[in-house]
Amino acid sequence: MKASDLKVYQDALVSAIEDMTVIYKAEIINSGLVSKNSFTFDPDATAGIASIVGFSGKVKGRNLLWIPSSLAILITEQVVGDTVSEYHDEMVLFTVNEINNVVSGAAITELNNLFQLSLRLSPPSIFAGGSFEIITPKSKSYEVEVNIKSDYYKKALSKGPQDHIVMNVAIEGSLDDEK
């Protein structure tokens, strides 16, 4: 498996956001997958929610999905049909977890079918707040970022970190890196 095969995460992230919210469109930014050493949350940006799902099989690693707090609230309200007051609301946390579950499930389904990796997901963990760095030892991580657009919520979504969702995938060992 090569690093470029992790493109399945890009497709899965875009599909999950658009299928689950219906009214939002997801646009890949930063030319797709970017190789990173860790996931770093910008301390100058607003708070966010990070969901982490581990996977194991013929390779091991974890998927981290990060959504800024205001966008997490908007997405939750759209998906479940209820009003939410703050990003620490249980339903917001569960929604972010479920989005990660859907994205991770779709991506590793594709990887399993292509490479017979027999990958299985672990139950997710969730972190909420601001200014943190998540380092996964012995692993290289690859990141895809999407910009969220919606004609319906044009005023609520402004340019910048508030409307970006990040998926960071870390795999133990290394893959053949491609640019």
Partner 1 sequence: MSEIKRILVVDDSAMVHKLMDRYLIGYEIVGYAKDGKEGIELFHKHRPDLTFMDITMPVVDGISAIKGIKQIDPDAKIVMLSAMADEEIVEEAKGLGVVTFLQKPFNKDTLQRTIYEVQQGG
122 contacts partner 1 (rule: CB under 8 A): yes
175 contacts partner 1 (rule: CB under 8 A): no
Among 38, 46, 78, 112, binds partner 1 (CB under 8 A): 112
Nearer to partner 1, 102 or 144 (CB): 102
Task: Determine the longest span between alpha carbons in the chain, in angstroms.
Answer: 46
> How many other C-beta atoms lie within 10 A of the C-beta of residue 120?
11
11 contacts partner 1 (rule: CB under 8 A): no
Among 1, 4, 2, 6, smallest CA distance to 168 is for: 6
Stretch touching partner 1 by CB under 8 A, among 13-21, 24-32, 36-44, 66-74: 13-21
Quick one: tokens of 29? 């930014």
118 contacts partner 1 (rule: CB under 8 A): yes
104 contacts partner 1 (rule: CB under 8 A): yes
Residue 79 has, within 13 A of its CA and on its CB side, a CA count of: 21
106 contacts partner 1 (rule: CB under 8 A): yes
Q: Which residue has the tokens 């708070």?
A: 47
94 contacts partner 1 (rule: CB under 8 A): yes
Residue type, 83: T
Quick one: tokens of 61? 């690693």
Stretch touching partner 1 by CB under 8 A, among 41-49, 61-69, 90-98, 169-177: 90-98
Could you tell me where the beta strands, DSSP code E, fall in 89-151? 120-121, 125-129, 133-134, 139-149
Stretch touching partner 1 by CB under 8 A, among 42-50, 87-95, 140-148, 163-171: 87-95
Among 30, 37, 113, 174, binds partner 1 (CB under 8 A): 113
> How many other C-beta atoms lie within 10 A of the C-beta of residue 138?
10
Chain centroid offset of residue 175 CA: 20
Binding site for partner 1 (CB under 8 A): 16, 19-20, 76, 79-82, 90-91, 94-95, 97-98, 101-106, 108-109, 112-113, 116, 118, 120-123
